[in-house]
A and B are shown apart, each in its own frame.
Chain A
Amino acid sequence: MSTTTEETEKYINQEQHKAIQGIRLFLKSKSSYDVLPVSFRLIVLDTSLSVKKSLNILLQNSIVSAPLWNNQTSRFAGLLTSADFINVIQYYLQNLDQIQLIDQLTLNELKDIEKAIGLKQIETSSIPPFTSLFLACEKMLLSNARRIPLIDEDKLTHREIIVNVLTQYRILKFVSLNCKEIRMLMKPLKDIKFVSDKNKTTLVKANLKTPILDVIHILTQNNISAVPIVDENDKLINVYEAVDVLGLIKAGIYNDLSLTVGEALMRRSDDFEGVYTCTLNDSLATIMSTIKKSKLHRLFIVNEASGVVGVLTLSDILRYLLFSNDDEILS
């Protein structure tokens, strides 16, 4: 630690506290609808579509999830996310004899499969668009979801209308664009309690030679969205994300289950922005201003030797902004 005087530290803490109060007020005063752009494109998939076609649609449009519509019930039917595609892989690993059927599997059947083998099901919680942002965040954090669909009802026809899907990134970007308070979040990560608490648990890592199936297993077992990949000196060099599974299936993983993660990553699209890293000297001010400009879903915290010491996810940031108590912020 540095030679900072107690007074400066106290000042920083108070600013941090003020900023968080301000951001909470802001989240309570704005509705989920406010986050949506004036004009946007939304892709809704019909549950009678095949998994294969759905995957092509996601990849073609550079998206990683889509809300579903059941034409039998004429209702919203949950979200399709990378977790579902991981489930597909896992199911077929257990039932290798059915591997030929995968191309015909529909989204409806996928849901049945997930039920049958007791895997995590498609997230179906949703909120009306005029729910306050604070409640939307709360609901997401409590259900461990990274996104939440906004479902409205047409006043005249009483039909459900899928308005959009709100993601944690969209909310944090909205905050960073509209809350001047983010500049006051000067407290370095190393002094924020939840960061150091979280860093005490060891991070599961992989290297370029780790079999891809092991990496997928790590993702599901730990319920995480990304596995850091390190070299022989434990330096962070890359990451495997749950969403990378989409490209893996597209390329036909069933034909080659022995790929290493390094090989699998060769198929990653050039659109991939790269892995964001930060250090314990960074503050939420610098992180939020990065979120304002770049699409990122987590930052790996590295030390001087590029070793991973932790990870900061968007849920971590939201949870801290929403739920941290005064003692935690001021000490």
Chain B
Amino acid sequence: MSQHQHQHQAQQGQPQVSFNQPWIDPNILQQMNPHNRIGRYQIIKTLGEGSFGKVKLAFHLTSGQRVALKIINRKTLAKSDMQGRIEREISYLRLLRHPHIIKLYDVIKSKDEIIMVIEFAGKELFDYIVQKGRMPENEARRFFVQIICAVQYCHRHKIVHRDLKPENLLLDGDLNIKIADFGLSNLMTDGNFLKTSCGSPNYAAPEVISGKLYAGSEVDVWSCGVILYVMLCGRLPFDDDFIPALFKKISSGIFTIPSFLSPGAKEIIQKMLIVDPLNRITIDEVMETEWFKTDFPDYLKAETVPAGTNDNEAFDDEVAQNVVMTMGYNYEEVCDILKQKFVDGNTSLDNHEIVNAYELLLENKNYTNLNKDDGSSHIDTVASKLPPTWANTDNTRGNGAGGKTGEFKQIANNVDNGRNTLAYDMSPFVDNNNTAANSTISILPTSIPQYHRAYMMSQDPDILKRIAPASTKKSKIKWHFGIRSKSYPLDVMGEIYRALKNLGAQWCKPTEEELWTIRVRWKCGLLLKEGLNKAHTNPEDEIGATYTFSKSKNGNENDDVEMKDNTKSTPVDNESNTELTPDLMKMQIQLFQLEANNYLVDFKFDGWECSRNESLEFAQNDQLSSYSAYPFLHLTTRLIMELAVNSQN
């Protein structure tokens, strides 16, 4: 049990509240259910569902290190003939290394899925903003600089994010930005991308929402502008609950800037949120502004001016070999392309995959060389099984880099001291620290079900013989509204009419304009005394008798009008006369086309009506509907069941 104790203590120092244990004893991991493993990773729980699929929390089996697994269903990816390209692009993302980009450690490929093993970052910048409201310029600038440097790094390596929004901006334990999903939007089919970006269009550039196919690096500039605005103002520059109105606001590019912003901040936002992408400020120009350069941290200076991406650099065979290894090209092809690019100066190859990969690897190598005296002694033996993390290399990368981690550690220490000695010598509104930073709330590792089972098994290896393990497979019910059909639309309509007839419903004669809409009314007796009596004294049990409204004694040609008249001419006065309790439920059934050969039958509740007109004959409704908690759902279910029976015959 001392093991548990140790971990619990270690965890208490962490400010995060979500399951925040960075490490689990590999011995315990080995005991956990092998069915919940992917590759060398033990899955603990699902963290959420992103635009690309599920994200799960997992631990590396041999090192015990915490990671996140992003599981991408191949079906959501672009067409199958591009699969090879997609896999290469993901391999390319693996080469990205930047302190403010979520690291991609590993890629596991299976028939149906591509699993990206990525760095775990527990918090979203979004939550931080929501919790704290708008921030002082210094704090916003710190985040902004980290975001811009990461974006610039990716643009330099030919990757545009296209979907920068607060959900993709994560924070690590030291409140440093980690951008997620870089390069993934390129992998989506355009339809998919539009769908996902429509989820929160507030951050999308005008040219993105207007559906222009070409989306270059300018779109990231716009999104960063919106993010900066949100951090400084605590609200969105463009916002409207009504999406078309929101699109209009974004396209007009008109927004207000609060007067409390400094002139520098004001100017940078105005230049980033210019509607015409050609006139919009570039990332490099942003980095040249005085506002941006204020308090610019040293460790990022090394990042932004990378040594050795110079074109005249001597050909590095080791790096070329690496390109062969990581990207899966053959060596001759790599040498040929690199020769054309660097020796012959063929600039048309600037965006060639091999060239990009070579440059990226070369840059990585130069960093590693800078860190030669790293000695690996700093790297925890546990962590060394995974690619070295930036936190480790930062410590020894020149004076600037060392300063970074040191500085944050110091802040963290101050917080800790504050908690232990002066418990509340901090005014909540002056203090810049997240309230969660003072939190000692945590989750008990020993109470995680997987952990508990593993522990019980370590105490008694035979326990599984006595206790059947929990059925991890849950037959999750999928909920759908309406029904879908791939049949010919007129057949579908025919089936619906037949089912309605069998159930004894009435409908209006369809008009030319509304051929795909059926207006129905059903007798739906209610268990209010009068209603019930009426149902009994009205023994219209002529099963299957259906009448369109035009057959009723009024003989009105316009059915729609008649239905309205019916309610109008008999104003329902529930308070005085319970006999008038409505007992006819109206419903609209409509056929929608979702895509070619795929239709949706939608049901809509359309109000109640009284069956005053005795000449209207109804089939006896089924007994159950009288008592159901949800009459509309009940009748809809009856109809769907009837349709299902018919379609089976």
Contact = CB atoms under 8 A, between A and B. Distances in A.
A275 B448 CA distance: 8
Contacts of A265: 449, 452, 456
A80 to B, nearest CB: 14
B470 A267 contact: yes
A272 B440 contact: no
B494 interface: no
A270 B440 contact: no
Q: DSSP majority for the B interface? A: loop
Contacts of B436: 286, 289-290
Contact of B441 (A232, A266, A287): A287
A247 B470 contact: yes
Interface residues of A, number: 75
B131 A289 contact: yes
Nearest to B629: A69
Interface stretch (A3-11, A102-110, A139-147): A3-11
Contact of B421 (A2, A73, A279): A2
Contacts of A267: 467-470
B134 interface: no
Contacts of A15: 428
A269 interface: yes
Given A72-B627, A286-B435, A276 B468 contact: no
A118 interface: no
B608 A266 contact: no
B553 interface: no
A170 interface: no
Nearest to B578: A158
A74 B440 contact: no
A294 B442 CA distance: 11
A290 B127 CA distance: 12
A201 interface: no
Interface in B447-475: 447-450, 452-453, 456, 463, 466-470, 472, 474-475
Interface string B1-17: 10011001100100001
Interface in A255-303: 259, 262-263, 265-279, 281-283, 285-287, 289-290, 292-294, 299-300
Nearest to A304: B9
Contacts of B578: 158
A266 B463 contact: yes
Interface in A230-266: 231-233, 235-239, 247, 251, 259, 262-263, 265-266
Contact of A275 (B444, B527, B626, B628): B444
B477 A274 contact: no
B574 interface: yes
A293 B470 contact: no
A187 B649 CA distance: 70
A227 B472 CA distance: 24
A274 B449 CA distance: 8
Given A237-B447, A238-B444, A293-B127, A274 B574 contact: no
Contact of B443 (A4, A180, A276): A276
Interface of A: 2-4, 8-9, 11-12, 15, 41, 44, 46, 59-62, 69, 71-74, 155-159, 162, 180, 183-184, 186-188, 208, 231-233, 235-239, 247, 251, 259, 262-263, 265-279, 281-283, 285-287, 289-290, 292-294, 299-300, 306
